[in-house]
Each structure stands twice: as C-alpha cells, then as structure tokens.
Structure 1
C-alpha cells in the first residue's frame, strides 16, 4: 500500500472507531423533581414512574434510541426554588445531560426556566401546571407536556355548563397554581352569563376552612339560581370534605372540583353525582398506549396508573419521538423538531403548539359514581373534551 493510501485508510479506521464509540455514548436525561419535603412527593414519584414506563414503551423495552442507551439522572429539588435551580444547573453543566424534565410544584418550576435559557438546553415541564410556565417569563427552551391551568378551568367551566343562572364562589391556594387557575376560570366564564361572586385564596397547607367557607356561604346563599363553590386546591387539607361537612346544601349550594389522584378519590364519596373535569383517570381514555400502561402498571405495582403516571409517560414519549425524528441532537435542531410535533400518549394525541410550546390535549368531563365494591369514588366519564373545544390562551410567542 502506498503511504498516501495507507494514511487515508488509517484515518478512515480511526473515524469509524470514534463514530462507533459515539454511537454507544449514553443519552443523558435529568429528572428534576421534589422527592422530599412536601405532600406533593406522591406526584413526583408517579411522574418518574410514568417517565420510565414511557421510555420502555417507546423503545420496545431496549431503553435505547438510535443505538445509544438512555441514562436517567434523578435530582431532588426538595420543593425549594434555590435547590431546584442549582440541581438543574448541575445537570446541564457537570452531568452534561441532553435535556431535563421537571418539576412538580409550579412555583419551584418557574424558578428553573431561566436556567434552561442560560445553558441553552431543553427543559420539558412535567407535571407542573401553571399557565405562567409557558408565559411571558418563559423562553424558547421550555416545552410543556403537562396540562395547564387554562385547560383545567376551561374543562371545569364546560362541565358546569355555565349560563346566566349560575353563581360561583372560588377557593384556591395562594400561589402560582391557584392564582393562574382562577384567572383561567374567570376567563372561561366570560360571555357565558355566569357570575363569579367572590374569590377566596388560602395559604398552602391550610387545614381550617371554617372562616373561608362561611364567607363563601354568605356571598352565595341569597342568590336566585344555581349556586356552586368551585374548589381548585392541589395540596392537603381536604377542603372539599371540610366544607361539605358544614352542610352547604342547606343554602342550596353545590360543591364542584376537578379530579384528583387515586389516594384522594375516596374523599369524593361524600359528593355522589358531583360533576367536574379531570386530567386523567385510567378508565377514561380508549387507546393502545393507555391499554398497555394500565395492564403493565397493574401487573408490576398491583394498582392502576394514576394522574401523574400518565403525565410522566406522555413526557417520555415526547422525548422519544423527538430523539427518533431529529437528524441530530443539537438543541436548535430539537427545538425545530418539537415545534408543532404530535405524538401518542395514554391520553391520545398531544401536539406542541409552536407559538408557546404548550402541549394541547384532551380533558375529561366526569360525574362521581359511588360503588361500595371500589375503594375510591369513580369519576365516571361523561365525555372527552377535545383540545379544539377549549380556548387556551397563548402564553409566550416566539
């Protein structure tokens, strides 16, 4: 072999070897969730379980994409914004992850958004809900697979079938989730003729609802028409149970709230017939992905999948679809791939809206059914509320 051709052959061999080595480099993904320090820990655990199941489903059990193994790096935010920011920076910097997924609390997650922009790396928001996470203070590196407050409240308003005969008092926690939710609910009622008579906000972790319930009773009791207290509380404290024990029906007042995780649904047995909207209940969606999730989760954990398990799986399947579709893993290429991307989830098809990267998705109108043979109250499906039925405001425009 002549020296020139020998050198060329050596170079090709070196490139082939380096290419093979690159092909085996893991795809690093960080899961940034609060795993200690809050009642929301259950949400985080469900989300992470769902994410791992979603990758398993999307890769046919190989946990590889394009010949590269997936490495999941888990970090605990402790539900503290400063800890979350540091954890995300460490994941992007020291751990060199391709992208991150998180977090659980809307307030904590909001503090993470600038870190994604600083490092110019993707942050998939799941399961935090607040509209503001794709709002003016967000950025182009943020995509959101979780539903938002507007979806919760648009669906809740549709379930209440509002008209000029409806009077509503709202109760929410005083932080991003609650404030954004009630703002979205008010927007959903616009033009319906319904009247919002009062808004009440309580600190997170509130346990005594006596005074706030009395204020809502007084605001509603003399109204002529249908009177409803709409509760939008994600944390503990059982506001629905405590308010219902104060007998609002003596004033003709109903209670309405969205669906919740399975451990909370036994408390809904106190309100048979109540109607509302839910993000996910394992019996509601009818599709192959959900069938697999329900069957697999039941086999492995002896229980059906819950609210945020489905969300975690949706996030994983979005990541897998993007990584399988993108020609390379440069951040700009991934952004271009994901804007407008549709993919399948346990809830059916989701689509990232190009303008603000919010995943548009279905919600479910339910009516509470009590069956003594079932441990929890059943949010029996009334109908699927499709994305096109909900007027979800744009958050941030690119």
Structure 2
C-alpha cells in the first residue's frame, strides 16, 4: 500500500472507532485522559488478537462509566508490531515520546514481550505484559517496571504435569516452536516430569520454525522415534497443520497427547470436527464455566459484540481492567506510584479474584485443564477443572534465586 493510501485508511479507522476508547492513532491529548499504549501482532495472529481487542474495548468502556478513573477518561492507543522485535520497540518509543502514554501493555510473542520489558526498564515506563508466556519475563529478566497478567509457561506446564504422570508413560516426544516460548515450555516440562517420574525418557525433540511447521515431516520423525506419549507446544496455524497431518496418518489414534493451549477456542474453532479427541490440554471452555464472575462477563461481552468470547477476550479484558484498578489505587499516573500500586494489586477476573505477586510481579490468573472432544462438529473441552495460578508457582526461595536482585 502506498503512503497516501495508507494515511487515508488510517484516517477512516480513526474516525470509525475514536469514540470507543480505543484508537490506532493518538487522539487529542488532554490532562483529563489516562492514556495506555498497546502493542501487538494483530496482522499475524488475528484469531487471538481480534477478540483480545474486543476484550480491551469492553473493559475500557466499563472503566469510563460513572466518571472514569478518578474522574479521568481511559484511552487506549494501539500499534501493530508485525511480529517483529524492532518494530515493537519503535512503536513503544513513539507511544512514549509522541503520544505521551502513561503505561504500556500488550505483546503476544514471548521474544517481543522480553524486548518490551527491557525497553520499559531502560525508559522507566510501566509495562503490563498481557500475553507473553516466557518465564524469563518475571524471573531471569524480571525488572521493577514489568508485570505479567497471563499464566506463564511454568504455570501452565505445572498444571499439565500431574495429568501427564497419570498416563504412566515412559518415552515422551516433544513438539514445539523453536523460539523462547516453546523452548521455555519444553525445558519446564522436562524438569517437572523428571521430578515427578524419575524414569521418564525424552526420545525426540521436534523444534519447528514458528508458523512454518512441516507437519508431515514432524509426524514421520515422531513415528520413527516410537514414543509412548507426546507433549505438544505448537499453536496458531502450526497446531492445525500438525493435527491434520497426524489425523490423516491415523497417528494419534493410539498415542496420548498432552498439549499446551490447544483447548482455547481460537484453535478449536479452526480445527472443528478435526479436533483430536482425548488430548489433555489447557484452554478456555467458555460454554461450561458457570461462576457468577464469568456469567457477568459473558453476558456483557455477548451483549456488546453479539459473539462468544475467546481466550483472547479474557486476556484483553483483564489487561485493561488491571491497569484501570492500578491507576485507581495509585491515584495518579506517576510511573513509580503505578508500579507500587501493582505490587499485591487485587482484581476480580471472570475466573475469580486474582492478585499480582510482589515477589515476581506475576499475576495469579489461572487456566482450565481438560480433555478435547467433538460435539456437533465443533471442538470442546470436557472434564474441566480450573487451576488457580497461585497453586502452581515455585516457592519464594526458588523465585529469589531465579529473579535478579533489585
């Protein structure tokens, strides 16, 4: 798209949604606004991030009801990083210097989240990492200015390991995208499985390029390794290709699979009738959660968007709701005050109450564990249980060893 056409398109988008509290470009900047800069890979992962944007919008509208936050309107300015660390930092710099935002949030890929966290530390700006899952974000590379909302790779793997141990399988194969998130998840799985089942063996590591999996070759390599079970960390388009390649070869009919994230509607919607029955997964079974907090959220979401929520909807909603509560508690937009307010901050989520841990800045938002099945041609989760994030964390002594001293 040439430069003039791009400017015209951005003007149309800005006009269309400027009144909704979310804007891709900076709006009038006044002292009665609290401005949040949000950066994400919208063009690359739309299945997750379009519902995520809806969740942000709903939370912003709710925050702006009845006078806003301490009398100030909450405004979100969004930027697309195109899945590139350099772009993410460039956009973050523009949000701080030109748009004068008071805090940053967002990030989908773990490597981008780490880059934004490092930027936040150097620029002394508050950053709430909404989606990146890598453990380094709050441990090895943790800093005073970065907090994380979503359950980390360690937490979600720790939710699945007890179920993996129950399978009583010795020889495991590992399939994962070959970047920070996948590497972190597999390292944690190996460590926790060895602790729980000392005789476990890892007979194959299939590390694939992100969004470029050669699914047929991966299935062939797994077959050659003859594992008793598989731990999968692929997501997005890669998980669809992997499942369909394995199903075509009838590979999954006799081998159990434990899989991170695959129970999220973003991926089940795409898999449809091809959803692999019996896989043990983490996910979001929105149809079957009957808590009061979730009922209130889903009613508001469906009324606003005439659609059902995805996991992205929860993450976007809670990122903005957390920031709104943080600014309320701080009573100011000052970065140091906001950082202090987030330490121990308590927020009510659609999954129930959560808090942000002072010792590592990780929230206690949990996830659902269950098994995959197919109903009416759609993938669903069955035998679900919610695992509170506070129950799958290392103890404070371990955290102190992993997180650099302040």
TM-score (norm 2): 0.83
Which residue in the other structure is 1:264 paired with? 267
Distance 1:128 1:287 in 2: 26
Instruction: Give the superposition deviation at 1:303.
Output: 2.0
Instruction: Give the superposition deviation at 1:63.
Output: 6.9
Q: 1:243 aligns with which of 241, 246, 251?
A: 246
Which residue in the other structure is 1:31 paired with? 38
Which residue in the other structure is 1:17 paired with? none
Does the alignment pair 1:234 with 2:241? Answer: no
Tell which deviates more after alignment, 193-202 or 94-103. Answer: 193-202
Paired residues of 2:106 and 2:128 also in contact (CA < 8 A)? yes
Which residue in the other structure is 2:210 paired with? 204
3-state SS of paired residue (2:175): strand
Instruction: Give the superposition deviation at 1:273.
Output: 4.1
Which residue in the other structure is 2:335 paired with? 331
Instruction: Give the superposition deviation at 1:279.
Output: 4.1
Q: 1:122 aligns with which of 123, 126, 133?
A: 126
Instruction: Give the superposition deviation at 1:122.
Output: 0.5
Distance 1:82 1:257 in 2: 31
Tell which deviates more after alignment, 138-147 or 285-294. Answer: 285-294
Paired residues of 2:364 and 2:389 also in contact (CA < 8 A)? yes
Instruction: Give the superposition deviation at 1:164.
Output: 5.1
**Greater helix share, structure number:** 2
**Closer/same/farther in 2, CA of residues 247 and 275 from structure 1, 3 Å limit:** closer
Which residue in the other structure is 2:14 paired with? none
Q: 2:382 aligns with which of 358, 380, 383?
A: 380
Paired residues of 1:29 and 1:98 also in contact (CA < 8 A)? yes
Does the alignment pair 1:70 with 2:71? Answer: no
Which residue in the other structure is 2:392 paired with? 390
Q: Write the mapping of 1:68-147 to structure 2, written as runs, cut at 5 A.
A: 68-147=72-151
Which residue in the other structure is 1:43 paired with? 48
Paired residues of 2:257 and 2:280 also in contact (CA < 8 A)? no
Aligned residues: 366
Which residue in the other structure is 2:3 paired with? none
Distance 2:48 2:266 in 1: 11
Which residue in the other structure is 1:180 paired with? 184
Instruction: Give the superposition deviation at 1:359.
Output: 1.0
Paired residues of 2:63 and 2:74 also in contact (CA < 8 A)? no
Q: Based on CA coordinates, which of the two structures has the bigger radius of gyration? A: 1
Does the alignment pair 1:363 with 2:367? Answer: yes
Distance 2:224 2:66 in 1: 60
Distance 1:206 1:327 in 2: 46
**Closer/same/farther in 2, CA of residues 383 and 324 from structure 1, 3 Å limit:** same
3-state SS of paired residue (1:359): coil
3-state SS of paired residue (2:223): helix
3-state SS of paired residue (2:372): strand
**Closer/same/farther in 2, CA of residues 304 and 351 from structure 1, 3 Å limit:** same
**Structure 1, gaps ≥5 residues long:** 1-21, 222-226
Distance 2:312 2:362 in 1: 17
3-state SS of paired residue (1:343): strand
Instruction: Give the superposition deviation at 1:173.
Output: 0.6
